[in-house]
Amino acid sequence: MPAANQSPPAERRGKVRFGVFEADLDSQELHRSGLRVRVQQQPFKVLALLLERPGEIVSREEMQRRLWGAETTVDFDHSLGTAINKLREALGDSAENPRFVETLARRGYRFIAPVTPLEAEPPATPQAEPPPMMVREMAAAEPSSTPEQTRPARTAWIWLLAAACALAGFLLSGLSFWYFQGSSHHPPAEVSQVTFSGRVSAGAPHLESFPATAVDGSRIYYVSIEGGRAMLAQASVRTGQSTLLQVPSEIVAPVIGDISPDGTRLLVRNHLSADVEQTLWIVPTLGGTAQRIPRILAHDATWMPDGTRILYANGRELYVAGDDGNNIKQFASLPGRAFWLRWSPDGHRLRFTLLDPLNHTTALWELDPTGQHARAILPGWSQPASECCGSWTADGKYFVFQSQHGAFPNLWALTDVHSHTPIQITNGPLSYAAPVTARRGHRIFFVGSDEHSELLRFDAAANSLVPYSAGPASAYSVQYSPDGKWVAWVDPHDGSLWRSRANGSEVLQLTAPPLHIFMMRWAPGDNTLAVMARQPGAPWKIYRCSSPHLRCIFL
């Protein structure tokens, strides 16, 4: 029988979710965080075919037979290449560093992200408005920080704001024992999303603001961005319904240190970037008034195993004190600043993240219960070191942490038996951070984020933010020159620095990865830029990008 008359394999129908995307295979619609993504018919058919068998190779021959038919006369190689390129464009994917569609030379393609089938009739959710945005750069919104304030108001768009639409959410992963054993006889662990607000803070480790979460069994505690301000929030593990926790007005930027062993009290510090050490507070999880811990300043803290004392980090020292701030005793001296302090369930080991303040690298370290025998975990495993933010499973057999090997951080696990060989738990398509483990079993809660930026302007007449079409389409850390003729920005995809005229012409790339740009400023009177940047694992340096070609040189 001719191939054209053969019955194709049964297709998966309905809706599926992968990352922040949902694909309706019946209506051939693709949505990203509730917003529809335009994708042509043939690229969507390619996507649907790959979603039928995620993790498996779909050969080029099968694609030709299923999508074009054996009797169709077409330049198949060109048509398939065009469809794949358009699909990757819709997903924000790339062939060099794939997060969704992997190319296997001369063999075919494979969908590499986890895929979750959705219910046939999921509960209706409002789609009238896009997810709220998390503001990444607020300086330009302040009257004192925009050069336009020194001149008479001319139009309704004089204030510009670079805003990042941070599509970050908690993800719940059920990781059973065999998975940590690295067995190849079972499918990957299921990943399910818990929150959908898009306002979970991913932190800023280079500003010593690490993402931090805590779980008491039925609820997850985290920092949420509400109206441009960091606030303490909680969400139900089962339903994802979230509410804000009331804290004193003095806590203007809460960061969670840890939760008490009985799950009733959070250690929270008031993180202010201008202060090296901050005040510590105890926030009840079941309601009640938060209490500041007197006589203590710290940049991170955790509960001691007895649940009545705290261990806190100040400078390069660790101290133990009562939860009332009394009986302060030095515990250990360290070669760097310690964060994410976590005791093993038996209280015999303390593991933490050590930050090198010069090179801004992070590494895992360990101490015994007396504060002695400090040693590095996994020295030299990644270059530069990027291990961070680890938590023990309830039985103490595994230590789960984040590390970046490639373009995005993923989650890994260590065992006592094979501590030199971490087991990789996740592999994209999001950036994964801040793993905390359930109090029973092997479930892990963590932050998955996919951040994008959009340049907005403030319309004074409408009293709202609207897209700014004259500027770069995707950018953050946007800076306009004092005369308003030039604009510089950082590309959120690779961190490179760009500049153009204010009308969008004469676009020029000034730097390239792996140089990481932190901030830049225009010099008054000309088009020279001062740039603060660094190479991975190296100290920050100041560069000057000057006329006529704006070449950047180290000062």
* Domain annotation for the chain: domains and CATH numbers: 3-117 (1.10.10.10), 134-156+452-554 (2.120.10.30), 340-444 (2.120.10.30)
Q: Where are the beta strands (DSSP E) in 372-495?
A: 375-377, 388-392, 398-404, 409-415, 423-424, 431-437, 443-459, 464-467, 476-480, 486-490
179-183, 368-372, 456-460, range with the lowest pLDDT: 179-183
Q: Where does the pLDDT of residue 376 fall: very low under 50, low under 70, confident under 90, or very high at 90 and above? A: very high
- pLDDT for residue 389: 92
Once rounded to an integer, what is the mean pLDDT over residues 329-352? 94
Q: Is the peptide bond before 482 cis (omega within 30 degrees of 0)?
A: no
pLDDT digits (tens, 9 = 90+) for 474-499: 777 888 888 888 888 888 777 788 88
Once rounded to an integer, what is the mean pLDDT over residues 208-224? 85
Once rounded to an integer, what is the mean pLDDT over residues 105-122? 77
Share of the chain above pLDDT 70, in %: 76
3-state secondary structure of 164: strand
Q: Quick check: 6 pLDDT over 70?
A: no
Once rounded to an integer, what is the mean pLDDT over residues 132-151? 30
Share of the chain above pLDDT 90, in %: 22
Q: Quick check: 118 pLDDT over 90?
A: no
Q: In the predicted model, what is the mean pLDDT of the chain? A: 77
Tokens at residue 448, please?
């998955």
Q: Where does the pLDDT of residue 268 fall: very low under 50, low under 70, confident under 90, or very high at 90 and above? A: very high
Once rounded to an integer, what is the mean pLDDT over residues 451-465? 75
Cβ-contact 209, 255 below 8 angstroms: yes
Contacts 24+ apart (CB under 8 A), 371-378: 371/318, 371/331, 371/332, 372/332, 374/332, 374/334, 377/351, 377/414, 377/419, 378/414, 378/419, 378/420, 378/422
pLDDT digits (tens, 9 = 90+) for 386-405: 899 999 998 888 999 999 88
In the DSSP assignment, the letter for residue 82 is H
- pLDDT for residue 129: 34
Q: Where does the pLDDT of residue 71 fall: very low under 50, low under 70, confident under 90, or very high at 90 and above? A: low
Once rounded to an integer, what is the mean pLDDT over residues 306-310? 92
CA 355 to mean position of chain CA atoms: 19
Give CA separation, 203 vs 200, 223, 342, 369, in Å.
9, 9, 19, 29
Q: Quick check: 275 pLDDT over 90?
A: no
Q: Where does the pLDDT of residue 70 fall: very low under 50, low under 70, confident under 90, or very high at 90 and above? A: low
Q: How far apart are CA 499 and CA 550, in angstroms?
A: 9
Q: Quick check: 454 pLDDT over 70?
A: no
pLDDT digits (tens, 9 = 90+) for 146-174: 333 333 232 233 333 333 333 334 443 33
Q: Where does the pLDDT of residue 175 fall: very low under 50, low under 70, confident under 90, or very high at 90 and above? A: very low
Q: Who has greater pLDDT, 49 or 466?
A: 49
20-24, 207-211, 370-374, 377-381, range with the lowest pLDDT: 207-211
Q: Where does the pLDDT of residue 501 fall: very low under 50, low under 70, confident under 90, or very high at 90 and above? A: confident
